[in-house]
Chains A and B, each alone.
Chain A
Amino acid sequence: MESTGRRTFLGVCLGGLAAAVAAATTWPLYRYLAPRAVKTTAAKVEIPAKDVPEGEAKFFDFNGASAVLVRKRGGDLIALSAVCTHLGCIVQWEKDQQDFLCPCHGGHYTPEGAVTSGPPPKPLTKLPFTVANGIITIG
């Protein structure tokens, strides 16, 4: 009985030691492999209004992701996330059709970001912006 108790005690000690060694090995390994904080562009992006002619779109980086500024025919401006809500591809601006096409699975969006056809489950996310002195400030 005494010998069984000693064996169990040693087993527990050994198990504890093994767990400590495993933790001391896994933690540095996890920290080494964990994604690093990426420096993204400033939360606000400024684009001269003249860079976005009527009927055209301008793509830019916004907080580490792709975004787009569209000036519809008639002059209305819209800022949207360019990331397709289906599987994360970047949408393309089709100037002739005046809509967005996702090249991965053929999703279509209106210039306002609403889904018109294809698999995207949600509209493109709208981004806030202001216009002052010929400069469009997104964010």
Chain B
Amino acid sequence: MKRFRFRRAAIAAASVGLLASTLAFAGQLSGQHVVIFDPNHLANGDLGYVHNSSDRVEYIGCQLGGGFGYCYAMNSAGINRTCITFDPAKISTMRSLKSDSYLLFYWDDSGTCTSVQVINDSTSEPKKPGMIP
């Protein structure tokens, strides 16, 4: 949850202009495993960090098709959550997903994505090659 909190804090700080004059975050590197938080119906994690992890259970990502988007995640405990959307705005967000993005998605009881957020920034790590034996 540390990464999640950091990003939430960073977003909140940016919203009031507190990041404009600070270099405190410059060069910061961070990574988050897949976190599923059912009370809030959310899943999140860093694609690159999760790929590089020695934990071979967790995964996270999205699939795009003609007019739909589908996101999925499994944490290290083997719990998986998914959502699907036909909303063009959310699909557009999913299109910005890269191999080293941070992905956060929310769902409702019907399995529909209620929110999708993608962060592409300097803090996340890329996938390391050669991880597949």
On whether the two chains bind one another, the answer is no
Binding site for A on B (CB under 8 A): none
- Listed in ascending order, the chain A residues whose CB lies under 8 Å from chain B are none
